[in-house]
């Protein structure tokens, strides 16, 4: 396999992994919000159909705010060839908190980190997203060079 094709394949796998991480973090955010309400089984069955629409839409916002911190974490993982799940879980939590901070900067307020429950929820969603990324692309990070 040529070097160009290996890099192209790795880049494609990173994009797919990032999309899966955004979907996983979005689904986790939805589960956190559903857990806040005490729903009966009929009410939960009624709202669960909307998840097929709202999870991908929220994933777009998650991927927008977490893009630059996630690319830094992915670049570190690729250069250092980190393949363990713990690295991606911790990096996902840091990316989640950084996304809340970036969201606060875009709104010209600092309410993101002054609300601890928002930062904790984003950290937990980032951990879920980091583990989703590890399942798709992180477990094979770093291209091995032939010596």
Tens of pLDDT, residue by residue over 26-82, are 999 998 888 888 888 888 888 888 888 999 999 999 999 999 999 999 999 988 888
Q: For residues 60 and 26, is the Cβ–Cβ distance under 8 A?
A: no
Domain enclosing residue 93, as ranges: 3-140
Read off the pTM.
0.85
Angle at 133 between CA 131 and CA 135, to 5 degrees: 70
Residue 145 lies inside a defined structural domain of this protein: no
Measured CA angle at 19 (ends 59, 146), to 5 deg: 160
- Reduce the DSSP state of residue 141 to 3 states and report it: coil
d(CA 28, CA 65): 16
How many domains does one find in the chain?
1
Categorize the per-residue pLDDT at 147 as very low, low, confident or very high, splitting at 50, 70 and 90: very low
Q: Give the CA-trace dihedral at 49, 51, 52, 55, to 10 degrees.
A: 170
Q: What is the pLDDT of residues 85-139, one digit of tens each?
A: 999 999 999 999 999 888 876 666 655 556 788 889 999 999 999 999 999 988 8
Per-residue pLDDT, 111:
59
- The answer to the question of residue 147 being in a domain is no
How many whole angstroms separate alpha carbon 8 and alpha carbon 111?
Answer: 40
């Amino acid at each position: 396999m040529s070097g160009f094709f290996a890099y192209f394949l790795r880049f494609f796998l990173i994009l797919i992994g990032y999309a899966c991480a955004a979907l996983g973090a979005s689904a986790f955010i939805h589960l956190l919000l559903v857990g806040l309400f005490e729903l009966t089984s009929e009410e939960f069955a009624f709202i669960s159909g909307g998840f097929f629409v709202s999870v991908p839409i929220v994933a777009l916002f998650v991927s927008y705010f977490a893009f630059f911190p996630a690319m830094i974490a992915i670049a570190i993982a690729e250069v250092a060839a980190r393949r363990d799940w713990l690295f991606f879980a911790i990096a996902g939590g840091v990316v989640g908190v950084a996304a809340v901070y970036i969201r606060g900067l875009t709104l010209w307020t600092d309410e993101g980190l002054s609300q601890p429950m928002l930062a904790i929820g984003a950290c937990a969603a980032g951990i879920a997203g980091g583990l989703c990324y590890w399942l798709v692309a992180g477990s094979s990070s770093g291209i091995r060079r032939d010596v």
